[in-house]
Amino acid sequence: MGNMDVFVAVKSRRSVRSYLPDPVPKEKLDRILESARLSPSAMNRQPWHFVVVTDSAKRKALSGGHFAHFLEEAPVVIVGCGDKDASPKWYAVDTAIAMQTMVLVATDEGLGTCWIGSFNEGDVKALLGIPPSYAVVALLAIGYPHDKPSLTGTVRSMLLRRRGMESIASYEIFGNGYKSDAPQIGEA
């Protein structure tokens, strides 16, 4: 066991697809964004830009994707952009690292989050005035979770199931399944 409780946040995080209307307190939002700012990036280029969207008309406009309807009710949507010119090879990786860091800090702050890949990039760029050199990497919904389970039944088990350790990690050579002695946490 480590000394810090990062793993507590890792274990307790779930994608939250139903939110209370309560706003996210400014000091929590500030800490979440600070964690993005401090994230690692290739050559320390920090090729990211995050648009914090709270305006309900804008959130509604962002919620048009097939798997994104709950962006309308999440009080904050963070739009993760990566500068393709500043870091052509790593902009997406760097931006994703910063976004997952925000997810873990938000979890630690008692907030729910969900990554969203279901959006039209051109529409999002036009809506928010994102410059041409930036790609929209992903969106992040943030807010207080609504208690009702956002998923049920087979969809739930499909979306939460994790592949076994030996199929996702190898020891010394690819295909020699890594044998973990840690308890394997899995919902399904």
Ligand X SMILES: Cc1cc2nc3c(=O)[nH]c(=O)nc-3n(C[C@H](O)[C@H](O)[C@H](O)COP(=O)(O)O)c2cc1C
Our finding on whether 116 is near ligand X (CB under 6 A) is yes
Q: Looking at 45, 56, 67, 155, which residue binds ligand X (CB under 6 A)?
A: 67
Alpha-carbon span 173 to 134, nearest angstrom: 37
Distance in angstroms (rounded) separating the CA atoms of residues 156 and 105: 24
From residue 174, alpha-carbon distances to 171, 177, 184 in Å are 7, 8, 21
Of 68, 77, 98, 142, the residue at the interface with ligand X (CB under 6 A) is 68
Q: Using the rule CB under 6 A, is 117 a contact of ligand X?
A: yes
| Residue 28 touching ligand X (CB under 6 A) | no
> Shortest distance, CB of residue 18 to ligand X, whole angstroms?
11
Instruction: Give the total of residues touching ligand X (CB under 6 A).
Output: 14
| Segment 156-161 long-range contacts (CB within 8 Å, at least 24 positions apart) | 156/187, 157/187, 157/188, 158/188, 159/15, 160/14, 160/187, 160/188, 161/186, 161/187, 161/188
Query: What is the amino acid identity at position 153?
Result: G
Q: Which residues 128-147 are close enough to bind ligand X by CB under 6 A?
A: 138
Choice between 60 and 171, CB closer to ligand X? 60
Closer residue to ligand X, CB minimum distance, 17 or 173:
17
Q: Quick check: 115 binds ligand X (CB under 6 A)?
A: yes
Contact residues toward ligand X (CB under 6 A) are: 14-15, 17, 65, 67-68, 114-118, 138, 159-160
